[in-house]
Amino acid sequence: MKKHNFSAGPSILAREVIENTAKAVLDLNGIGLSVMELSHRGKDFQAVMDETVALFRELLEIPENYHVLFLGGGASLQFSMIPYNLLKARAAYLETGTWAKKAIKEAKGFGEVEVVASSADKNFNYIPKGFKIPEDADYFHITTNNTIFGTEIFEDYNSPVPLIADMSSDIFSRPIDVSKYAMIYGGAQKNLGPAGVTFVIIRDDILGKVDRYIPTMLDYQTHIKEGSMFNTPPCLPIYTCMETLRWLKKLGGVGAMQKMNQEKAALLYGEIERNVLFTGTAANDSRSLMNICFVMQPGYQELEKEFLEFATSRGMVGLKGHRSVGGFRASTYNAMPKESVQALIDVMQEFEKMHAK
């Protein structure tokens, strides 16, 4: 039976990316060595690093005064590194979900934090609007896609202070104006590669302004000076990121990917709205293209476990929603084919015929 992987992360990768990575694990480009056993300072892996950085720059149209880094520790380590390097007195945060809350918690250890707006009042089912970014803040931090609650920010905000974005789960899913951001970061394991590598896109001019001592490994300038090789980088995940970006470029880049993602989301949201058994959890103007969350309609809640078992028996994987929301979550990242979305819709329709009153 074909499996359809809707897991929120680590998540689906394109089949050819997995196959090409598997080949490189056995033998990288015919050199007789695995990509896992190369010296990270040798020419063969340096070529991998150089191409991955170049593809980042090309596909996102990153300006010259930005650096692309590959680090460890996941986005969760960045929650601390950002204020360590950038927070002098006061920072501003937009609170839109669990990961934003975690970032806020870490920042409070380094200075004052102002939450400019929050959607906690409705269990984070919408993106706040009409808020004011304080002009005296050291930076303004946002989480562009909220995997648990299924909301997404599609606007590149005009910020009077350096704008920092956690784009762990929607990077490369749509065009962005990188010049609007001082820093973009994220874990690779949702839309780019396997777990184990974190990408950071950072502008030159925001660094070197805090007085505190920054431990060597937590200082962005360390990794800029050493080309992400101050210590041994996560070589295999970086290789897979390169293969993913090659695949993305071949498909037409982020503009083409955005159209595909919009089509997939429109199909599934359309079925959720039509089907008498289900209802979406995110506000219509905030709905994510990456994580589509839905629950059983009132009167059908007792069928939640049965639907999950039914869908699983038909090859649907990773549909269970996060415990803070319940219901179901279909993660439709870049590598998710339209055919898998249609397969889920078919299962939903079959279940509806069995149980609709």
Single out the catalytic residue among 138, 170, 190, 264: 190
Evaluated on CA atoms 110, 114, 120, 121, the torsion sign reads: positive
- Examine the residue annotation and report whether 190 is marked as an active-site residue of this protein: yes
Query: What backbone phi and psi angles, to 5 degrees, belong to 285?
Result: -85, 5
Any catalytic annotation for residue 166? Answer: yes
The catalytically annotated residue of 99, 138, 170, 264 is: 99
Strand order in the sheet with 90-95: 66-71, 198-203, 183-187, 163-166, 140-143, 90-95, 112-118
Q: What number of H helices and E strands is found in the chain?
A: 9, 14
Q: Are 163 and 185 in contact (CB under 8 A)?
A: no
What is the DSSP annotation of 84-118?
A: HHH-SSEEEEEE-SHHHHHHHHHHTTTSEEEEEEE
Catalytic residue among 138, 166, 170, 219: 166
Residue 289: strand, helix, or coil: coil
In which region does residue 356 sit, left (phi positive, over 0), alpha (psi from -120 to 50) or beta (all else)? Answer: beta
Nearest to 238 by CA among 206, 198, 265: 198
Question: How many residues belong to the chain?
Answer: 357
Tokens (6 digits) for 85: 């390097």
Tokens 């390169």 belong to which residue?
A: 242
* Bridge partner residues of 152 (DSSP): 145
The first and second tokens of residue 265, run together, are: 């989301």
Which residues are known catalytic residues?
99, 166, 190
